[in-house]
């Protein structure tokens, strides 16, 4: 999906505004969980785009910041449950990073709930469905990404 389409979808106001959510899934647990949700035909909102990374710790804070700067309304990072990381301790790094990144987003003025970390294992298709459904609902309450609204005029 090109950047322009992303912005078109996301700047629409009112009832028909649909949030755009970037979901980072780790290769070993969450991506398989998302796959399971898919093959099980579990119904969920379609506002999210999945980006697969080898580990949730591969999600550089820069990826998240870039997603917001390009118009994403929410970013969801999914990884293996504690003690289940394929790389032993990747998810422990992730949870520290995301906690700090949420503090940073708050200082920028963003609602920190636009960034969420959740653990989804390969067998948790229904949890994937639930996480997406809840997150989309929450982002709809928070509203469109303020970066696109140009509330502060340039000069």
| Closer Cβ to another protein, 46 or 69, answer by number | 69
| Closer Cβ to another protein, 108 or 123, answer by number | 108
Smallest distance, another protein to C-beta of residue 2, A = 19
Tokens of 125: 């298709």
| Closer Cβ to another protein, 86 or 140, answer by number | 140
Distances (CA, A) of 1 to 27, 34, 69, 97, 144: 22, 20, 16, 28, 18
Q: At 10, which helix (H) or strand (E)?
A: helix 3-11
Chain-centre distance for alpha carbon 129: 13
Smallest distance, another protein to C-beta of residue 101, A = 6
Smallest distance, another protein to C-beta of residue 31, A = 22
| Closer Cβ to another protein, 36 or 77, answer by number | 77
Distance CA 80, CA 57 (A): 10
Q: Name the CA dihedral angle for 146, 19, 80, 36, rounded to a multiple of 10 degrees.
A: -170
Smallest distance, another protein to C-beta of residue 57, A = 8
Smallest distance, another protein to C-beta of residue 13, A = 11
Contact 49, 65 (CB under 8 A): no
**Residues in the site for another protein, rule: CB under 8 A?**
60-62, 64-66, 68-69, 82-83, 89, 92-93, 95-97, 99-101, 103-104, 107-111, 117, 137, 140-143, 146-147, 149, 151-155
| Closer Cβ to another protein, 36 or 129, answer by number | 129
Helices (H), 40-153: 61-69, 90-108, 125-142
């Amino acid at each position: 999906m090109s950047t322009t389409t992303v912005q078109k979808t996301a700047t629409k106001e009112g009832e028909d505004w649909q949030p755009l959510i970037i979901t980072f899934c780790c290769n070993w647990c969450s991506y398989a969980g998302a796959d399971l949700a898919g093959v099980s035909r579990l119904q969920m909102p379609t506002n999210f785009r999945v980006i697969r990374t080898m580990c949730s710790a591969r999600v550089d804070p820069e990826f998240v910041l870039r997603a917001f700067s390009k118009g994403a309304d929410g970013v969801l990072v999914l990884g293996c449950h504690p003690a289940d990381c394929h790389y032993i301790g990747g998810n422990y790094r992730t949870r520290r990073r995301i906690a700090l990144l949420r503090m940073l987003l708050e200082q920028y003025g963003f609602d920190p709930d636009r960034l969420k970390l959740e653990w989804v294992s390969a067998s948790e298709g229904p949890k994937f469905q639930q996480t997406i459904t809840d997150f989309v609902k929450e982002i709809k309450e928070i509203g469109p990404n303020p970066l696109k609204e140009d509330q502060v005029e340039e000069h």
